[in-house]
Structure 1
Amino acid sequence: MTPSNVKPASGANAYTDLMDPKRTWYNNRRLMILHAWIVLLLVTSTASGYDGSMVNGLQSLPQWETYFNFPTKGKLGLLGAIQNIGSLAGYPFAPYLCDGIGRKPTVFIGASMMVIATAIQTASQSVGMFIGARFLVGFGLTFAASASPMLVAELSYPKYRAPLTSTYNSLWHLGSIVAAWATFGSFKVQSTWAWRLPSALQAVPSLVQVFLVWFVPESPRYLVRKGKETEALKTLAYYHADGDENDPLVRYEFEEIKAGMEFDRTVAANIGWRSFLSSSGNLKRVRIIIAIAFFSQWSGNGLAGYYLNKVLSDIGITNPTTQLLLNGILSIWSLVCALAASSTVERFGRRVLFLSSACLMTLFFTMQTVCFARFTISGDKNAARGMIAFIALYSAAYNLAFSPLIVCYALEILKYDVRAKGFCVFNVTISIALIFNQYVNPIALAALNWKYYVVYCVWLVCECIFLYFYLVETKNHTLEETAAIFDGEVAREKITDLALTQAGVVNEVGNPMSDDKGSVECVEKS
């Protein structure tokens, strides 16, 4: 046995041999506490989902339409897109806050802005004030949504990292459900509170974060980067090993983090934003994260996701109560599908889920197009019912990968030194795609009707081809191992070997080393 082939066993994030099999989230008090803090961070995605669904629901409220003088086409598109324009304005600052002052303070800043913005939105007296408030909502959400998923990925116990990070984006649908049913419930209020009440409720998740986020531990990777290694080790030990700083898992995690950062400094020669263009590995990363970000918003999902009332009206379903009810039911369906997929990411792998999702989306969106065309041409009511069914099936296909995996996958393929900046690129791409989608979709639907769907049918085929040739599998790797895959096997070997040696898991000749906890078994890499 040689040093180069002595590794932790291939398994859940490559830590299988080092984890205590008796330590699980439901029987370990400190893991329960850690997961409680992670749930607080997951709330950020819920706030984002609430916003998107609320705007969709408000469009079906006569009280909202009357108060804002029945916005259509360009104005309606601006009302939908302005939140993402606000997000776009915040992205240049987000990575510097995340890397400069830490993930936790950045979440607090973003949540505070959200609370202020929703208060202004609720009190709006004109369409201009409403649009300005929604711009500020997007601006604040940028900071919380940039820092929260990174903190989830960097704090999680290795066994649960992928499912928890996947759950982050899946909980967008939980916010969507609350917003959909809030607008449905306020429909019968015969005043402007029919839309002001759902707007006020939007502040609740962010308000909870403002008061509790300071109790969340900071990212160990951020602490190591800032030279606070003792604090980083204590954080890992407290939550991952009941406070035992000599636990083999904690020692390996800690040393791997240090080894990964040392590799970036001495070998990869990270040079900030320019590093995305100076390294073939980083070019691959950027290509993938831009693609999946764009695909997540430009796969036809923006039509039913943001303009469901317009789509339903075009197929003859014009009753506001029915529209709001369908919006609420589809939100629940999407959440169930996304959470189910989140639990399988380590079982099936990223490629299988992404490719299955893209192929099924292509099929079901094509069937939507056929049903829409048939109803428009012949007025066939069965075609309208069929379209609703295919919208639900399409939603299940989309949530197989594009809800749970896009954030998880983007974060795990990025090295720490470029994670905040790379995630900024990812989010900027999403915002640009959303702005275009939300502004153009109502105009294009009004002009082209069902023919506009054909554009997405063709585009979905292109997505399938790209994912097949370029998506890299990252199943069962740590964050540092996954990031190193893009820099070549040599990088991965150096990081892993250095971490193992420094952690005392193997000695220089590849034999297991003992400490006061006893020997730690190592196995050959399969």
Structure 2
Amino acid sequence: MAPIGAAAAARQADPVLTRIVEQDTVPWYRKRNLRRLYALLLPTCIGIEMTSGFDSQMINTVQITPTWQAYFNHPKGALLGIISAAYNLGAICALPIVPYVNDKYGRRWSIFIGSWIMVVGSLIQALSVNAGMYIFARWLLGFGIPFCIIAGSSLMGELAYPKERPIMTSLFNALWFVGSLVAAGISFGTQGIKDDWAWRIPSLLQAGPSLMQIFFIFMIPESPRFLISKDRREEAYHTLITYHAEGDTSSHFAVAEMAQIEHTIRIELENSKRSWREMIVVPGLRKRVIIGSFLGVFTQWSGNTLLSYYLNDLLGLIGYSDPQFKGKLNVGLNSWNLVNAVCISLLVRRFPRRKMYLICATSLLCCYIAWTIALQQYGMEKRVQPARLTIAVIFIYQACYNIGYNALTYTYLVELFPFAQRAKGITIFQFFGRSAGFFTTFVNPIGLNNIQWKWLITYCCWLAFEIVFIYFNFPETYGRTLEELAFLFEDRSLAEEATMNVEKQMNWADRRYSRIEERMSWEMDVVIPNQNGERKHGGRGEVRDMRRGDWWED
């Protein structure tokens, strides 16, 4: 069986828009409107994953807090599992309705709704009086996060300039570690508090990222692709002109991008019922669903949930029980994660997606093999060397995980699914990811309690499967715009039809701009004195407003 990347690449049409983008040598920070857009995307979209990072780290660090342990009567096994897993369970329950909110009301309203749900969940969590209330609060937090993640990742990919899109969507996941680091620092700082506020304060502050999103979300434009799908073409074109062409209505790039988006979405909608059923029935979409589903599982079953939720137990297996040491290690680990995740995100434009995923999965397998051996050696001899090796492997593992499953996840998903099915596609990814996360978060403490280091062998076997699956099934999406990837698994003629429309509109625009320039040049040469002796231009010189919504029609 041959890898799927070459076959999918053969069906892609000529990358007209990509070539235009490559000719643009002006960096984003020299474009005023684009700078403003990216500055607003930081708190509204990129910052969404800070909530997930905060939650994962907070539930990890409160287990080190003596007052939390005492308040909830030292939860272990199944109770500890459901406390940690309730967040993912809430997310699973929300997923059936998230795509409809996205497709009907737009990306911004979905983020707004989800953020308010998480604010309420944070308040309930901070004021919990028993384990049941605490579990419900975590369920509610999880219920709100998919609205924001699915809309935010889509909106960022659809608003960003094509040259920076891979970096922006990669930073989306990298900011997970900002939330994680902040939670680790806050929890470490509140450990000295002798009452219940040692864990209630971090719970309350979890609402911080959501409040930022509520405040800033309507300061950014709606997705041009969503606007076009709702026949609001003038607004869509105005957004593209403002942020991708810096207000230049004669921009060839804006002409090509508008034509490509409009014609691609038209073809998509003509060939799509936008139903859940067609995600399985249509061969091209079915391939995408399989890849997205397994990618969701891979992001949770690669051993990362052990570190995100049960670092306390893992350190206990190698003899580290001091809460101060655990807190410092936790802050150091999250600082390391943030630095390497951001660095990898900034370099993601330079490397093909398949290669990065294969490097990621292979290196994770090597880390887990070394980790398993180190834990086994410590269990037999109780020597300090295997314990130190375990800590070193944990740091190396995190960098390896960030190469693929952190940096590329939403970049790849936005590229993999076309606009008409993007919200549903990311929802499917979220369903399998959250389900896998719920399962592993629930069973990890049980496995660690019963078979200790042997539990890591299951992850070694699974990681070997990941390598094989990625090699044979992941297509390459590197170096193309979203519309150039829209027909990745479909008939090549559909991709060529969209490309022909782009070229047609560009040729039409070239002829029109030439006529306008010729007319304006002629006007400059015809100067007529008026009765007062003043000189003014003759000729009519009417130049049509290029912002009108009907100019790009055939």
TM-score grouping bracket, smaller chain normalisation? over 0.9
Alignment of 1:106-505 (within 5 A): 106-266=110-270, 268-504=271-507
User: CA shift at 1:25, angstroms?
Assistant: 2.1
TM-superposition CA deviations, 1:295-326 (whole Å, max 9, x none): 01001111112100000011101111111111
8 Å contact kept, 1:223–1:231: yes
Q: 1:16 aligns with which of 21, 24, 29?
A: 21
> In structure 2, do the counterparts of structure 1 residues 79 and 14 end up closer, same or farther at CA, with 3 Å as the change threshold?
farther
Taking the aligned partners of 2:404 and 2:176, their CA distance within structure 1 comes to 14
User: CA shift at 1:377, angstroms?
Assistant: 1.5
Q: Does the residue aligned with 1:307 lie in a helix, a strand or coil?
A: helix
1:235 partner amino acid: T
8 Å contact kept, 1:91–1:427: yes
1:417 partner amino acid: A
> In structure 2, do the counterparts of structure 1 residues 407 and 200 end up closer, same or farther at CA, with 3 Å as the change threshold?
same
8 Å contact kept, 1:52–1:306: yes
8 Å contact kept, 1:99–1:222: yes
Q: How many residues get paired?
A: 507
Q: Does the residue aligned with 2:326 lie in a helix, a strand or coil?
A: helix
Taking the aligned partners of 1:166 and 1:195, their CA distance within structure 2 comes to 31
Q: Does the residue aligned with 1:399 lie in a helix, a strand or coil?
A: helix
> In structure 2, do the counterparts of structure 1 residues 334 and 123 end up closer, same or farther at CA, with 3 Å as the change threshold?
same
TM-superposition CA deviations, 1:5-54 (whole Å, max 9, x none): 995568xx44425x6422x2211110111101211211111111111111
User: CA shift at 1:481, angstroms?
Assistant: 1.1
TM-superposition CA deviations, 1:163-209 (whole Å, max 9, x none): 10111011111111111111111111111111011111111111111
> In structure 2, do the counterparts of structure 1 residues 517 and 467 end up closer, same or farther at CA, with 3 Å as the change threshold?
farther
Taking the aligned partners of 1:514 and 1:500, their CA distance within structure 2 comes to 16
Instruction: Give the alignment's TM-score, normalised by structure 2.
Output: 0.88
1:25 partner amino acid: W
8 Å contact kept, 2:115–2:213: yes
Q: Does the residue aligned with 1:351 lie in a helix, a strand or coil?
A: helix
Taking the aligned partners of 1:346 and 1:512, their CA distance within structure 2 comes to 35
User: CA shift at 1:502, angstroms?
Assistant: 2.5
Q: Does the residue aligned with 1:34 lie in a helix, a strand or coil?
A: helix
The Cα RMSD (Å) is 2.0
User: CA shift at 1:66, angstroms?
Assistant: 0.5
Q: Does the residue aligned with 1:400 lie in a helix, a strand or coil?
A: helix
Taking the aligned partners of 2:516 and 2:456, their CA distance within structure 1 comes to 65
Q: Does the residue aligned with 2:255 lie in a helix, a strand or coil?
A: helix
8 Å contact kept, 1:65–1:71: yes
Residue 94 (structure 1) aligns with: 98
8 Å contact kept, 2:12–2:485: no
Q: Does the residue aligned with 1:272 lie in a helix, a strand or coil?
A: coil
User: CA shift at 1:470, angstroms?
Assistant: 0.9
8 Å contact kept, 1:42–1:168: yes
1:195 partner amino acid: W
8 Å contact kept, 1:42–1:171: yes
> In structure 2, do the counterparts of structure 1 residues 517 and 407 end up closer, same or farther at CA, with 3 Å as the change threshold?
farther
8 Å contact kept, 1:25–1:35: no
> In structure 2, do the counterparts of structure 1 residues 515 and 81 end up closer, same or farther at CA, with 3 Å as the change threshold?
farther
8 Å contact kept, 2:13–2:496: no
Q: 2:71 aligns with which of 53, 67, 72?
A: 67
1:259 partner amino acid: H
Taking the aligned partners of 1:374 and 1:75, their CA distance within structure 2 comes to 30
> In structure 2, do the counterparts of structure 1 residues 408 and 453 end up closer, same or farther at CA, with 3 Å as the change threshold?
same
Taking the aligned partners of 1:131 and 1:141, their CA distance within structure 2 comes to 16
8 Å contact kept, 1:8–1:16: no
How much identity, in percent, do the aligned residues show? 36
Q: Does the residue aligned with 2:276 lie in a helix, a strand or coil?
A: helix
> In structure 2, do the counterparts of structure 1 residues 14 and 96 end up closer, same or farther at CA, with 3 Å as the change threshold?
farther
8 Å contact kept, 1:233–1:245: no
Taking the aligned partners of 2:387 and 2:369, their CA distance within structure 1 comes to 14
Gaps of 5+ in 2: 1-10, 519-554
User: CA shift at 1:390, angstroms?
Assistant: 0.6
TM-superposition CA deviations, 1:196-236 (whole Å, max 9, x none): 11111111111111112111110000000001000000011
User: CA shift at 1:517, angstroms?
Assistant: 7.5
8 Å contact kept, 1:8–1:15: no
Alignment of 1:47-58 (within 5 A): 47-58=51-62
User: CA shift at 1:505, angstroms?
Assistant: 6.8
Residue 26 (structure 1) aligns with: 29
> In structure 2, do the counterparts of structure 1 residues 148 and 271 end up closer, same or farther at CA, with 3 Å as the change threshold?
closer
User: CA shift at 1:500, angstroms?
Assistant: 2.3
Taking the aligned partners of 1:246 and 1:45, their CA distance within structure 2 comes to 37
Q: Does the residue aligned with 2:29 lie in a helix, a strand or coil?
A: coil
TM-superposition CA deviations, 1:433-468 (whole Å, max 9, x none): 010011000001101111111111111111001111
TM-superposition CA deviations, 1:320-367 (whole Å, max 9, x none): 111111111111111222112112222111011100111111101110
Taking the aligned partners of 1:6 and 1:357, their CA distance within structure 2 comes to 29
8 Å contact kept, 2:362–2:467: yes
Taking the aligned partners of 2:230 and 2:494, their CA distance within structure 1 comes to 23
Taking the aligned partners of 1:271 and 1:26, their CA distance within structure 2 comes to 38
User: CA shift at 1:63, angstroms?
Assistant: 0.9
8 Å contact kept, 1:149–1:168: yes
